């Protein structure tokens, strides 16, 4: 979202994009892999490629990055920085087993700090919450870098106290310099989500707007603001910057909800097509979007269950457990959903949206006591849950 007064100048996002693209114009694939291959040149190239896709949210582009990383490893061997980048990429694409395998490629890599951070992320995604927290606390005690503090904040926000989580985010921000404004903005967005999870809409908007001031023109900030406002205009703005099926889906949902089916259908069809194309390529990172899509957007509960089962095979955590339980519930199999939703709730997660679904599933399955307990927790966590639910699903 370009800020007023900056219209003529590049936004921070555009400036970063231009800088990376300029680097890549000077250092293209041919140059990077010119014989004899220089490890520093090739490594810098693949890092810049990854930085570009990471910045503009281009998950499809990551396939090309992956090929370049593999090419570099093929020629240069499993150098630590290449394997680390590969692990980052695989984690971004929800490929947890591959992430661990990447980190094992270079003998000493798993013991390095950046690798330990990713392994903690993997542990959390695999539902090993205590292990993840313990690993991150150990890393923070060695060096309290912003990225580790932010991860601890995320865990605390999901499974502990929101106030403590926000304190950790503030501490993380205190470690970030003016040379890392995108990181600062990202944490502002996380703080906004944390506030939103407690129903604090005004505070959420302030965090999002602060993120926009810190790092102007960032599509991710615009996407969050669009989610909060729930207006087609803001989502359309995001879609001018990035081609993301989940954004098209959200826009389609808003049109559909307001009775504009003609506008909604192409967008929803486009989103579904991209999700399915990705899955057909063997990618797994849209499984949870497919689950949600078939459970709630264009209901096809059996399909929702199918995708949810595939996702939970890869990542067995409170999110995938809830997604499968919800899909089963929507398919009229609330009893079958019970074991999954119980595991999710018993994980200790403090998420009003998740617990609200749990209450509905318990109620449908006849477990009134559990349903009531979940409803109480929803009210305690976010008294305004019903009013803010539309903005949660990032």
Partner 1 sequence: MADHNDPNAVNSAFSDIDVSAADLYDLFGFPVNNDASGEKAYIALTFASVPKTGVFDSDILYRLQIHAAPRVAWPEAEGRSLESLLKYVDAVKEKYLGNFKASEIRVNIDKDQRAHVKFLNFPKTADFATSFETNKVNEVKTPDGQTIKAFIGGREEAFFNDLTGFFRSINYGPQFYHVPHTMLEGRELPIPKTLLELEGNDLFNFNPAEPTVGYTTKKNLPPGPYTWNGTTYKKDANGNFRFVYTGQDSRKGLNSNAIVFEIPLSFLTKTPATDRVVNTWGETWVLKASGKVAQIPDHPVLSENPIAFLRNFDLDEELKSYKLVDTDGQPFADAALSEREDSRQMGANNFWLAPVFVKRLAHLGWGFGPSISALGLKTSFNHDNSPISIHKTYSSVIEAFPRVVKTLFQPLNMPDNSWNPKGLNIPLRRAFEVFVPNVCAIDMDTTGTWPFGRRLEDQVATRFLSLFLDMEAELNGKKYHIELLNEQSLWDSAPIEPKTPPNPIKNDKEFLKEFPYLAEPW
Least gap, CB of 238 to partner 1 (angstroms)? 18
The residue among 237 and 285 lying less far from partner 1, judged by its C-beta, is 237
60/68 Cα distance (integer angstroms): 14
Q: Bin 108: left if φ > 0, else alpha if -120 < ψ < 50, else beta.
A: alpha
Least gap, CB of 221 to partner 1 (angstroms)? 13
Which residues have a Cβ under 8 Å from the Cβ of 337 and sit 6 or more positions away? 324, 325, 326, 328, 329, 361, 365
The residue among 140 and 205 lying less far from partner 1, judged by its C-beta, is 205
Which residues contribute to the site for partner 1 (CB under 8 A)? Answer: 3-5, 37-40, 43-44, 47, 76-77, 79-81, 84, 108-109, 112-115, 143, 173-181, 183-184, 202, 205-206, 209-210, 212-214
Least gap, CB of 163 to partner 1 (angstroms)? 15
Least gap, CB of 313 to partner 1 (angstroms)? 31
2/10 Cα distance (integer angstroms): 8
The residue among 6 and 257 lying less far from partner 1, judged by its C-beta, is 6
Least gap, CB of 179 to partner 1 (angstroms)? 7
Least gap, CB of 13 to partner 1 (angstroms)? 15
The residue among 171 and 394 lying less far from partner 1, judged by its C-beta, is 171
Tokens of 156: 């605390």
The residue among 113 and 257 lying less far from partner 1, judged by its C-beta, is 113
Least gap, CB of 20 to partner 1 (angstroms)? 13
Say which residue the tokens 């603001």 belong to.
225
Q: Which of 368, 367, 361 lies closest to 331 in space, CA to CA?
A: 361
The residue among 109 and 308 lying less far from partner 1, judged by its C-beta, is 109
Least gap, CB of 37 to partner 1 (angstroms)? 8
347/87 Cα distance (integer angstroms): 27
Tokens of 258: 């307001």
Tokens of 179: 């040379």
CB atoms within 10 A of CB 76: 14
153/159 Cα distance (integer angstroms): 10
The residue among 84 and 374 lying less far from partner 1, judged by its C-beta, is 84
The residue among 38 and 270 lying less far from partner 1, judged by its C-beta, is 38
Whole-Å CA distances, 130 to 96, 142, 155, 188 = 18, 18, 10, 26
Which residues have a Cβ under 8 Å from the Cβ of 25 and sit 6 or more positions away? none
94/310 Cα distance (integer angstroms): 12
Least gap, CB of 92 to partner 1 (angstroms)? 18
CB atoms within 10 A of CB 43: 18
The residue among 109 and 312 lying less far from partner 1, judged by its C-beta, is 109
Whole-Å CA distances, 41 to 26, 53, 223, 386 = 11, 19, 35, 53
């Amino acid at each position: 979202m370009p800020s007023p007064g900056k219209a003529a100048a590049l936004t921070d996002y555009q400036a970063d994009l231009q800088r990376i693209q300029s680097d890549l114009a000077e250092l293209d694939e041919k140059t990077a892999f010119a014989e004899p291959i220089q490890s520093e040149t090739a490594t810098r190239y693949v890092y810049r490629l990854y930085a570009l896709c990471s910045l503009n949210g281009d998950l499809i582009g990551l396939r090309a990055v992956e090929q370049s990383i593999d090419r570099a490893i093929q020629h240069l061997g499993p150098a630590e920085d290449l394997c680390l980048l590969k692990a980052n990429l695989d984690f971004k694409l929800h490929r947890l087993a591959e992430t661990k395998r990447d980190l094992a490629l270079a003998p000493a890599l798993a013991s390095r700090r950046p690798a330990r951070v990713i392994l903690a992320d993997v542990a959390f995604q695999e539902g090993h919450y205590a292990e993840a927290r313990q690993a991150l606390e150990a890393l923070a005690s060695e060096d309290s870098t912003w990225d580790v503090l932010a991860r601890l904040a995320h865990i605390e926000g999901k499974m502990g106290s929101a106030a403590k989580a926000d304190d950790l985010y503030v501490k993380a921000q205190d470690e970030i310099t003016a040379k890392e404004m995108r990181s600062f903005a990202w944490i502002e967005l996380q703080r906004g989500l944390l506030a939103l999870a407690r129903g604090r809409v005004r505070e959420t908007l302030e965090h999002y707007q602060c993120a926009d001031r810190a790092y102007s023109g960032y599509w991710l900030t615009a996407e969050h603001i669009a989610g909060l406002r729930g207006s087609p205009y803001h989502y359309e703005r995001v879609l001018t910057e990035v081609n993301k099926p989940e954004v098209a889906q959200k826009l389609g949902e808003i049109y559909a909800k307001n009775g504009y089916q003609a506008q909604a259908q192409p967008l929803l069809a486009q989103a579904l097509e991209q999700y399915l194309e990705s899955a057909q390529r063997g990618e797994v990172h849209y499984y949870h979007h497919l689950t949600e899509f078939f459970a709630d957007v264009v209901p096809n509960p059996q399909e929702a269950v199918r995708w949810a089962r595939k996702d939970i095979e890869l990542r067995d955590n409170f999110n995938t457990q809830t997604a499968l339980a919800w899909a089963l519930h929507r398919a009229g199999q609330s009893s079958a959903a019970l074991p999954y939703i119980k595991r999710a709730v018993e994980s200790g997660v403090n998420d009003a949206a998740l617990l609200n679904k749990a209450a509905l599933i318990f109620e449908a399955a006849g477990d009134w006591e559990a349903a009531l307990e979940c409803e109480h927790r929803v009210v305690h966590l976010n008294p305004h849950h019903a009013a803010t639910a539309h903005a949660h699903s990032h």
